[in-house]
Amino acid sequence: MISGYAIEGGRLRPVPDPLAHPETVVWFDLLSPGDAEEAEVERLVGIDVPTLDEMAEIEDSSRLYVDGGAAFLTATLATRADTGHPVAAPVTFILVGHRLVTVRYDTPRAFESFPTRAERLDLGCADGETVLLGLLDAIVERLADILEATGRKIEALSHEIFRSAAAERGGRDFGGVLAQVGSHADVISHVLASLVTLERLVAFLGAARTGIAADKEARTRLKSLARDTRFLAEHATFLSQKITFLLDATLGMISIQQNAIIKIFSVAAVIFLPPTLVASIYGMNFSVMPELSWAFGYPMAILLMIASAVASYWVFKTRGWL
C-alpha cells in the first residue's frame, strides 16, 4: 500500500492517489509494498527501494548510506509494545531531493499519529527533510511514552515482589511475577535497540544532509533529537538494570519460599522423631518388658510420646528456628 502526502501551509495533506499525482507528493509512505508498487515508486523518484532482507541487515554500512544523492536511513522500531509482546520492525527513511520516502512492513504508532497531527497543526513541514524531522520527533516521543508506562509497571511489580511477598509469607505464586518480569524486559530491550539505531541515524543524518546542516532551525531540532535519544537510551539502560535486579530478587524469593517449605518438613520430621523412638522401643518383641503387664503402660507410652513431641517443638520455638 502506498500513501502520499503533500504540504499546504506547513501542514500535511493526504493525496488520494499519489501515483497519479506524484508532482504534488512530498512524502511517499510504502507499507508492505508489492513488486509493482516498488517499481512505480522507483521510476517516479529515481531510487532503488530496499527489500525487507536488506532493511534487516545490522551493519551500519547497510543501514546508513548515500547512493546517487539519496540518503538511506534504516532504524529498528519497537511496535506492538502495548500488547506486551513487542516486535522489532525495520523502517527505512529515504531522502531524495526534497522528498521523503518511507518503507516499512509494520505500523509503528508514530506513523498513525504523526500524519493526523500534522494535518491539524502547523508543525513546520516544508519539505521532505522537515517532514522526516517531525516524524522522528513523533517516534522518539512514542518511545518515551512506552518507557514511562513500562517504568510505572516495573515500580508496581517491585512493590508487589518485596511488600506482598513479606505479607503473604511464602503463599505468593512467583510464576506470574517471572512472566511479568520477562514481558517488561522484552519491551525495554526492544525500545533500547530502537533508541540505539535512532541515535546513529540522527548522527548520520546531520553529517549526510547539507541542507539540514545549513538550516539553523533544522540543526537545532536535530541536536534536540540526538539529546533526547541519548537520554532515553540511558533511562532504558537503567530500567533494564532494574529488571535484572527484580529477576534476581524474584529468583531469591522463590528460593526462600522453597527453603521455607523444606524447613517445615524438616522440623516436622525432627518433632516426630522422639515419639517414633518411644513407639519403636515399645514395639520390640522381647518376652521380658515390665511395662507389658502394667495396667498404665499404654497411657504412659502415649503421654511419653506426646511429651517428647511437645518438648522438641518448644526447643525449636525458643531458639527461633520456627
The pLDDT tens digits for 165-212 are 454 545 566 778 888 888 888 888 889 989 998 888 888 887 776 555
Residue 321 has a pLDDT of 66
As a whole number, the mean pLDDT across the chain is 82
pLDDT in tens, 11-51: 888 888 877 777 788 888 888 888 888 788 878 778 888 88
pLDDT at 144: 92
| Secondary structure of residue 4 in the 3-state scheme | strand
* Cα(178)–Cα(75) distance, integer angstroms: 30
Separation CA 121–CA 102 (nearest Å): 21
Task: Find the mean pLDDT for residues 135-152.
Answer: 90
pTM over 0.85: no
Domains of the chain (ranges, CATH numbers)? 2-258 (3.30.460.20), 272-318 (no CATH)
Share of the chain above pLDDT 70, in %: 93
Amino acid at 13: R
The total number of residues shown for the chain amounts to 322
Give pLDDT tens digits for 92-141: 998 888 888 889 888 888 888 888 888 888 777 778 888 888 899 999 99
Give the list of residues 6+ apart from residue 88 with CB closer than 8 angstroms, or none.
76, 77, 78, 79, 190, 193, 194
User: Of 39-43, 61-65, 169-173, 303-307, which range is least confident?
Assistant: 169-173
**Helical ranges in the chain per DSSP H:** 35-45, 52-55, 60-63, 110-120, 128-159, 165-168, 174-208, 210-214, 216-271, 273-281, 297-318
How would you classify the pairing of strands 99-104 and 27-31? Answer: parallel
Least confident stretch, 109-113, 234-238, 316-320: 316-320
Residue 190 · residue 184 · CB < 8 Å:
no
Which pLDDT score is estimated for 232?
Answer: 92
Model confidence band, residue 158 (pLDDT cutoffs 50, 70, 90): confident
Torsion sign over Cα 206, 210, 213, 215: negative
Give the model's confidence band at 295: pLDDT under 50 very low, under 70 low, under 90 confident, else very high: confident
The yes-or-no verdict on residue 250 having pLDDT over 60 is yes
Residue 80 binned pLDDT confidence (cut-offs 50, 70, 90): confident
Q: pLDDT band at residue 157, thresholds of 50, 70 and 90?
A: confident
